[in-house]
Chain A
Amino acid sequence: MTLATAPPRSPGAAADRAARTRRAQGAWFLVLPALIPILLLSVGPLLYGIGLAFTDAQSGRTQATRFVGLLNFSDLLHDTLFWDSFRIGLVWAFGVTVPQFFLALGLALLLHLPLRLRWLARALAIIPWAMPEVVVGIMWRLVYHPDAGILNETLRSLGLSGATDGRDWLSGLATALPAVIVVGVWAGMPQTTVTLLAGLQNVPRELHEAASMDGAGAWRRFRTVTWPALRPIALAVTALNFIWNFNSFALVFVLTDGGPGGRTRLPMLFAYEEAFRYGQFGYAATMGLAMVAVVSVLLAVYLAGRLKGDEDR
């Protein structure tokens, strides 16, 4: 934890360490410019936010905010709408993260091969990644549009018109959540692909060739050479993706605004409504804390993976 245990693994460690200690003591002035805003505008508000979860804070209220203990939490426990939204959030996060990972893994392996259109795939991958989420949402609304959208027209031209004529995918009770999940997969897949691809490039080529010489087939090479090397990255990417998806807001806000009938109301959308449409700051903060519970589990997975990666180094 302290400098004494910090590992300068280069040769001549002892002298090195002493020099480093001396320099580290003078390094504070380099840290302060970033540390102060972080403490004031990030750590501070986070603690404040946790505190708000135990109060009846509301917007535009005249009397003082009171400490109400666990009242918000007990309200939340009985709030079936919130549990619905929580469940939708989990379905959405799984529904996006899991297919996204497998598709991205397959694509990364594919793009790792020397194929001719590889450059094009990489160039196009930039589009969903760099686009504002709001624009992604707008774009897919145009695709899903019941009359003027290309999806229904394509299905029509494939002779599937009977089932889909004039169908409004984003307003259908059954189709809305799957429809937004598809958009979520589309929006996040390139980043996952490119990250995994970068990871693949760190897999030692010689090991692959050696395994190939020993007669290992593609699957075996993947399992014994590629996957062990890729695993820390894959784990990190998946955990972070799940967290980001669970916390996401803009995409679904633009696509459906939580509709129809709350079928796509992710927890963040619910908390946003509660805080900034109904002014229930305290209660919305409590929702935020409930979301942290889910996030923490994945964060633990991610951090455990990182620490393990640290040991392996």
Chain B
Amino acid sequence: MSGRRPVSGRESSGTGDGPTARRHTATTRTTRTRQRSATPAARRTTTRTATARTGQYAALVAYLAFLAFPFLWLISTAFKPPRELGSIHPTWIPEAPTLENFRQAFTQQPLPAAAGNSLLAAAVSALIAIVLATPMAYVLARYRNRLSRAATGWVVVSQAFPLVLVIIPLFLILKGLHLVDSRIGLIMVYVVWSLPFALWMLTGYVRAVPPELEEAAAVDGAGRLRTLLSVTAPLLAPGIVATALFAFITAWNEFFFALVLLKSPGKQTLPVVLTHFLGAEGVADLGPLAAAALLATLPSLLLFAVIQRRITGGMLAGAVKS
């Protein structure tokens, strides 16, 4: 990924100011007319002209706007006083920005408790999932046999079946164990729910570690476990951290299982508590709603920003190689 960086400096120059752009447009026209009698060189230059560049930048800006505008609106709404929220002509920038919505959000719903529940469920389930998944991922990556094929197949299938087919029996099982409306029950579900993806990503990371390194250690007389811990594990560490954080984020964001399994208000996680703000819908509640929603997003946004590149690589490796 990083190998391509230097290129950008070179090629993006020359798109700068107006006059240059206009000159390039003129060139395009002549190039186009020439194109029919087409020398390869002429056609090649066409793609580099300013017209193409302008189009590309227009598309990019449109994309940026589409990505950013709901989020900017959320931020704007979170800082608006009730008077501005009730206005018929809403403005992008609050005229009298206030933190009042945040204060109200905390008094309307038990946000700290909900955040604590989310944190607990996400952190514990991510930790357990990683501890369970790493050894298995190692085996799946290194050995190809019936088990690894079955496991890979299960990983794919489990990503695909409708959750309702699993949650009903899980609900009944957990009810039998008296673990409905319990944080332990939710954590158990989250562990199993994040295992496929953890396996998927970790298997990709293990494959990236050359087996020759392990073989060399084995030749030197290290046992399997020793080899794993002293050779493979350190190389895997960044991948393991990325996977754990990803499992954390998915659990932090999860809604369906938490909605079904947790009934007592004191045990509910943040996403479920957020929907309580929607209950009595009115203009006056929009502010606290936006404020709470914004707060609930920050942890996953920050963590995700840290690991995003690794995630993509890991998912890609898992998705296209078996």
Count of chain B residues with a beta carbon within 8 Å of a chain A beta carbon:
114
Residues of A within 8 A of B8 (CB): 114-116, 118
> For the complex, what is the distance from the CA of A138 to the CA of B74, rounded to whole Å?
9
Determine if B170 and A254 form an interchain contact, defined as CB atoms under 8 angstroms apart.
no
Determine if A237 and B319 form an interchain contact, defined as CB atoms under 8 angstroms apart.
yes
Residues of B within 8 A of A156 (CB): 89
- Segment at the interface with A among B19-27, B96-104, B235-243, B293-301: B293-301
Of the candidates A3, A35, A129, A292, the one whose C-beta lies within 8 Å of that of B165 is A292
> For the complex, what is the distance from the CA of A138 to the CA of B296, rounded to whole Å?
12
Distance from A283 Cβ to chain B, minimum over Cβ atoms (Å): 10
Determine if B163 and A249 form an interchain contact, defined as CB atoms under 8 angstroms apart.
yes
Residues of A within 8 A of B166 (CB): 42, 45-46, 49
Q: List chain B positions with a Cβ less than 8 A from chain A.
A: 1, 4, 7-12, 15, 38-40, 43-44, 46-47, 56-57, 59-61, 63-64, 66-71, 73-74, 77, 85-90, 92, 131-133, 135-136, 138-139, 142-147, 149, 151, 153-154, 156-170, 172-173, 188-189, 191-192, 195, 199, 224, 249, 252-253, 255-256, 260, 270-271, 274-275, 277-278, 283, 286, 289-290, 293-294, 296-297, 300-301, 303-305, 308, 312-313, 315-316, 319-322
110-147 of chain A: CB within 8 A of chain B = 110-111, 113-118, 120-121, 123-135, 138-143, 145, 147
Would you call A199 an interface residue if the criterion is a C-beta within 8 Å of the partner chain's C-beta atoms?
yes
> For the complex, what is the distance from the CA of A253 to the CA of B163, rounded to whole Å?
15
A156 nearest in chain B by CB position: B89
Q: What are 15 A-B residue pairs whose CB atoms fall within 8 Å in the complex?
A: A38-B195, A115-B56, A117-B61, A126-B305, A134-B293, A135-B74, A138-B274, A143-B69, A143-B70, A186-B67, A195-B315, A199-B320, A240-B160, A240-B319, A268-B164
Q: List chain A positions with a Cβ less than 8 A from chain B.
A: 1-3, 6-7, 20, 23-24, 26-27, 30-31, 33-35, 37-38, 41-46, 48-50, 52, 57, 106-107, 110-111, 113-118, 120-121, 123-135, 138-143, 145, 147-150, 153, 156, 186, 190, 194-195, 197-199, 201, 212-215, 217-218, 232-233, 236-237, 240, 243-244, 247, 249-250, 253-254, 267-268, 271-272, 275-276, 281, 284-285, 287-289, 291-292, 295, 298-299, 302-303, 306-307, 309-310, 313
Determine if B312 and A194 form an interchain contact, defined as CB atoms under 8 angstroms apart.
yes
Determine if A114 and B7 form an interchain contact, defined as CB atoms under 8 angstroms apart.
yes
Residues of B within 8 A of A295 (CB): 160-162
B57 nearest in chain A by CB position: A115
DSSP majority for the A interface? helix
